[in-house]
Amino acid sequence: MTISRAITAMAGLFIMISLAGAHFSGQIDFTAAPWLWFTAFVGANLFQSSFTGFCPAAMVFKAMGLKS
């Protein structure tokens, strides 16, 4: 694993931990704020992309003509 992928994994993991901590401490409720599911998706996607190399956002940017 490269440093870049390790940083991506750490960022995704921290997003998921902070969401879980806020949820289980009663500070947020995923049913009352459904837009938080988007944050959970971003965190999970960051974490999985660090291991698989697959990132939907990268595919979109590539289709838009950006260079890798």
pLDDT digits (tens, 9 = 90+) for 23-53: 888 888 878 778 888 999 999 999 999 999 9
Where do the structural domains in the chain lie, given as residue ranges? 3-63
From residue 55, how far is each of 22, 26, 47, 52 by CA, in Å? 26, 32, 10, 8
pLDDT of residue 34: 82
Indicate whether 68 pLDDT > 80: no
